[in-house]
Amino acid sequence: MSRVDDLFALASAIVLEEEGVFSDEAQDPGGETKWGIARAEHPEITAQAWAAFTVDDALALYRAKYFDAHRCGDMPAHWAVGIFDAAVNPCGPVIEWAQSALEVAADGKIGEQTIAAMSDRFADDAFDLFFAQRAEGYTRQPAYELGHLKRLFAVQRKILQRSPVVGLQGA
């Protein structure tokens, strides 16, 4: 496996541990959700495909629409998992929050300047500030606030426990 494949395996494993297999709560604007994939957010998934939607389908969607689309494979491991998780379970302008924490132009696009800043920021508080901004975003969703915050802190703990300092971070 390549570095990017290893990184996706790490990121998707952490996210899948925090996402339920299926939920359909009336208060949730995403409606039916499987493995963190909200059907309302993916109109391309037909009713027939949704009925047969598997974890492998979720992983394929994770890879294309969340991991690759946000250039997570180019990031240090801790940032890749944090951004990927934020894309799967959004609570606001997560890319702009990351860029703000990194003190780069907050244009909402992961470019070379953002990637370079991520590579230089493990020891300082930028990563923690990004998670604090995400936490603040979840407090704007009072019906799910406590659950989202618990999930967020669990993801951060798992990132810090599992993201290698050497290996996956290198390009």
- Domain extent, residue 98, equals 3-18+55-162
Residue 61 lies in a domain: yes
Residues 6+ apart with CB under 8 A from 74: 110, 115, 171
**Where is average pLDDT lowest: 12-21, 27-36, 138-147, 162-171?**
162-171
Q: How many domains does the chain have?
A: 1
Whether 41 contacts 61, CB under 8 Å: no
In a domain, residue 132? The reply is yes
CATH number of the domain to which 93 belongs:
1.20.141
What confidence tens digit (pLDDT) does each residue in 119-152 have?
A: 875 556 899 999 999 999 999 988 788 988 999 9
Q: Let me know if residue 104 belongs to a domain.
A: yes
Asked, for residue 35, whether it belongs to a domain, the answer is no
Within a domain: 63? yes
How many Å apart are CA 127 and CA 156, to the nearest integer? Answer: 10
pTM: 0.90
